Amino acid sequence: MIRLKDLDRLLIISTLMLVVVGVVMVYSTSYIVAMKRFGDEYFFVKKHLTYAFVGLGLFIAAVKVPYDFYRKMAYPILILSAILLIFIFIPGLGFTAGGARRWVRLGPIAFQPSEPAKLAVIFFLAYSLAAKQERIKSFAVGFLPNIIIPGIMILLIMSEPDLGTAICVASIVFIMNFSAGVRLRYLFGMLLAAVPFIWLVIMNFSYMMNRILIFLDPWKDPSGRGFQMVQSFLAFGSGGISGVGLGEGKQKLFFLPEAHTDFILSVIGEELGLIGVGVVIFFYVLFLYCGTKIAFRAKTLHGTYLALGLTFMVVLQAAINMAVVMGLLPPKGLPLPFVSYGGTSLVINMIAVGIILNIYIRGNEA
């Protein structure tokens, strides 16, 4: 039987605190919109709590399942995830929400296949990198399979289109290969080769180019394409050091579009100020510390790569989201892990934490 003292308490604290912040801020940012759209101010927070409890159940299950299971199931999970990504393009299964075709509906359940696809890529790489460690310097064995197979998943995600998630997954692939000792000239050569391809993708999707132009100068069209970024800046500026008070923010009052999803940190900045944003960042840094510590103390290479990939899956997305809402990166459409409203993301991230804790348990076994 697994007891609380057998787990990494700091990792649990950082995760639960971010989830609690998420529940509070989802309500604070959405109750007015929920009342106007659905006549129920608790509409979004009730759904978010439902996802949180589902995630908690799967988190507990993931803590109990030996992480070696993901080594054995790496290929089946990868194939299933690829099929789900293809489902997006099948009429009647895939559908558009929020202006992007990134969702699949199977009966009463609607979810984003790109979220479990991140787990699938990490499972595959953790297995493959550990199995090929003795030949990791080889181009044909240590590099190509660990780039081409994840690359297919990334292409499927990009074709939705979802450049933000694709970049996040590509970054995880780079970090895991780098950590395993793949030759740097192969990795950086791959990056150089990818630049013209990414440029072609951006040029072929006008909305991506528009996002880059907005990023460069949002004030050029503050009431049009730059509206969301400008409102995000105003939210942070209004918050100051300590914020205007929880629930007292003005930008969420139909100024900052979908404030409970991608731009929830902007409302945290307005209502809780620099202190509130600093607390959120602190818990992500704590999460990074705990995750990497567990990775490097794992008993097996597979455990090390798995914990490392799952840790950066959360932290990288958080860093990208924060950079976007603060105007340091073009808009990407990525939620803030554990905090933003979004069921699939919350559930997948809770599963990831459960797996990391299982690696911790196995690493501490005598």
pLDDT digits (tens, 9 = 90+) for 49-89: 999 999 999 999 999 999 999 999 999 999 999 999 999 98
Average pLDDT, the chain: 89
Report pLDDT digits (tens) over 88-140.
988 878 877 655 677 888 777 788 999 999 999 999 999 999 999 999 999 99
Tell me: do 224 and 270 sit in the same domain: yes
Structure tokens at 47: 């759904």
Domain contains 167: yes
Looking at the structure, do residues 128 and 147 belong to the same domain, yes or no?
Answer: yes
Query: Do 305 and 237 lie in a common domain?
Result: yes
Do 224 and 177 sit in the same domain of this protein? no
User: Looking at the structure, do residues 219 and 195 belong to the same domain, yes or no?
Assistant: no
- For the beta carbon of residue 98, count every other beta carbon within 10 angstroms: 12
Q: Are residues 47 and 92 in the same domain?
A: no
What pLDDT score was predicted for residue 199?
80
**55 and 150, same structural domain?**
no
- Residue-level pLDDT at 157: 92
Looking at the structure, tell me whether residues 286 and 179 fall in a common domain.
no
CB 268 within 8 A of CB 287: no
**What tokens were used for 11?**
């990792």
List all residues 6 or more positions away from 288 whose beta carbon is below 8 Å from its beta carbon: 311, 315
CA dihedral 207, 211, 216, 218 (to 10 degrees): 110
**pTM of the prediction?**
0.93
Copy the structure tokens of residue 339.
């905090």
Structural domain count of the chain: 2
Instruction: Please check whether residue 57 lies inside any domain of the structure.
Output: yes
Q: What is the pLDDT of residues 288-336, one digit of tens each?
A: 999 999 999 999 999 999 999 999 999 999 999 999 999 888 887 789 9
219 and 159, same structural domain? no
Final residue of a domain: which of 178, 204, 230?
204
Domain termination residue (choose one: 176, 204, 232):
204
**221 shares its domain with 335:** yes
Contacts of 334 (CB under 8 A, 6+ apart): 164, 165, 168, 262, 317, 320, 321, 324
Domain that holds residue 301: 1-65+213-348
Judge whether 76 lies within some domain.
Answer: no
